Amino acid sequence: MPNYCFNRIRLNVTQDELEKIKEIVMSKDEFGDEYFDFNKVIKRPKNMLLRAFKANTLEAFSKYYYENPDKLEQKILDEIISNKILKVRIDGKLVNIDCYVDEKYSLEELKYYTGEMLILWYDWCVDNWGTKWNSLFSSIDKDELIFSTAWNPISLELFEGFINICKEVIGKKASDIWLYYEECGIGIFGRYFIQDEELYYDEDYREEVA
């Protein structure tokens, strides 16, 4: 269970502008509740392993598939990606994926691998969204978009992507949008803002709680 980081994006839009922004960046979950969908700002790739293979395993298994495309059916690869199976039959032998990789490839061999690599979902999400999951507990109105994230705030890149979307709807007013974040458990807080058309962050900024 992660600590949840509070994120608040200050808006100042009309109802019509709000509806247009919502249409672009919000989605509905299985219960019909709206949430700020990071995928609509920075889309997560499809070729992503949902289970947490270590990097060496991931690279080597991708290398095997790249070198031997006729020995591994797409259906089996899809099952591995969706974490349905942990073993695979290679060259007529049923092997544990992790053990096979450790025995087959060394780190030195993997240095020169140039095939397409399947991506670890966790690493990609943290690198691109700033956090491992999509948003939680979202709400949006004309004044603000509030949501929570796991451990850390969203990345500057994700915030910038949101700003660019808003520019298409509200023009120069998007430069007044800014984000405040706070996670009390590990004591991080700050803000992202635009000044002179440049994006900045301030890790010392903290809002006073009444």
Q: pLDDT by residue (tens digit) across 4-34?
A: 999 999 999 999 999 999 999 999 988 899 9
pLDDT (0 to 100) of residue 70: 67
Do residue 52 and residue 38 come from a single domain? no
- Same domain? 196 vs 142: yes
Among 63, 91, 117, the domain boundary falls at: 117
Residue 135 near residue 38, CB atoms below 8 Å: yes
Domain boundary among 117, 137, 172: 117
Domain boundaries, position 52 = 48-117
Residue 210 binned pLDDT confidence (cut-offs 50, 70, 90) = very low
Segment holding 103, helix H or strand E = helix 97-104
Q: What is the number of other CB atoms lying within 10 angstroms of the CB of residue 122? A: 15
Residues 64 and 30 in one domain: no
Rg (CA), the chain: 21
In this structure, the answer to whether residues 30 and 53 fall within a common structural domain is no
Of 98, 117, 136, the residue at which a domain comes to its end is 117
Q: Is residue 194 part of a domain?
A: yes
pTM, entire model: 0.73
Q: pLDDT above 90 covers what percent of the chain? A: 50
Q: What is the mean pLDDT of residues 87-98?
A: 72
pLDDT of 50 higher than 70: no
Residue 57 clears pLDDT 80, i.e. is over it: no
209: in domain: no
Give helix 156-170 / helix 15-25 axis angle, nearest 10°.
130
Given a cut of 80, whether residue 181 has pLDDT beyond it is: yes
The 10s digit of each residue's pLDDT in 99-129 is: 777 777 777 777 777 766 667 788 889 999 9
What pLDDT, on the 0 to 100 scale, is given for residue 123? 83
Q: Same domain for 135 and 72?
A: no
Residue 197 lies in a domain: yes
pLDDT greater than 70 at residue 158: yes
The reported pLDDT for the residue numbered 40 is: 97
Q: Is residue 174 part of a domain?
A: yes
CA dist 28 and 41 (Å) reads 15
Looking at the structure, tell me whether residues 35 and 133 fall in a common domain.
yes
Beta bridge partners of 194: 199
Region 143-162: mean pLDDT is: 96
Together in a domain, 38 and 135: yes
Number of domains in the chain: 2
